[in-house]
Chain A
Amino acid sequence: QSALTQPASVSGSPGQSITISCTGTSSDVGGYNYVSWYQQHPGKAPKLMIYEVSNRPSGVPDRFSGSKSGNTASLTISGLQAEDEADYYCSSYTSSSTVVFGGGTKLTVL
């Protein structure tokens, strides 16, 4: 199972919006509504930000939103804040009953 494709890096200024894409195939992202997004700060465990494409766990700010179109899922962060600077990973359920992660995207807040 190949990793999902994410851009290596994105950047934005405080207050701006950014979008991170996550591209898979019809056997994973496109075939199921089980796409999740995780935030990871250096040296820390990942944190769930979005589950089942567009749902936010309690405690996650509504500045974070998720969507999906075809084989590509997206994470949008609006009103960028300094503390949003981190690595972001998408994941998806697959037709093999496994889970696959994306390669990760480093978000820099300028």
Chain B
Amino acid sequence: EVQLVESGGGLVKPGGSLRLSCAASGFTFSSYSMNWVRQAPGKGLEWVSSISSSSSYIYYADSVKGRFTISRDNAKNSLYLQMNSLRAEDTAVYYCARDLDGYPSGMDVWGQGTTVTVSS
């Protein structure tokens, strides 16, 4: 079964850091570009970042550029999001998602999400 499972969410104070992980299974992870997408409580979807299959191409939303870092370890079938200088507005459910046929074709497999809460 094709599956993505996020972990690492939690409660963090403003200015703090958190590292999210996404474990992939059931497909050849190294062949797909991957994304992080977030959804603030009661709000819509917001694309956060994308990384190509070999990590050669990385893109960020302006709202997180300079604070968040996306990375992947193809040997471990894992995707990561290092989040620094967190703000209240970063509070959201964070989803990892696979690109169907390369970036930016469309995200066809999604995890269940991990919740990040930034609050003092």
A binding-site residues for B, Cβ under 8 Å: 1, 3, 34, 36, 38, 40, 45-48, 50-52, 57, 87, 89, 91, 93, 97-104
Contacts and interface: CB of A to CB of B under 8 A. Distances in A.
Contacts of B50: 99
A48 B35 CA distance: 14
B62 A45 contact: no
Nearest to A37: B106
A48 B97 CA distance: 10
Question: At the interface, is chain A mostly helix, strand, loop or mixed?
Answer: strand
Contacts of B32: none
A104 B100 CA distance: 21
Nearest to A104: B44
B59 A98 contact: yes
Given A46-B95, A100-B47, A51 B113 contact: no
B1 interface: no
A83 to B, nearest CB: 18
B42 to A, nearest CB: 11
B56 interface: no
Nearest to A52: B105
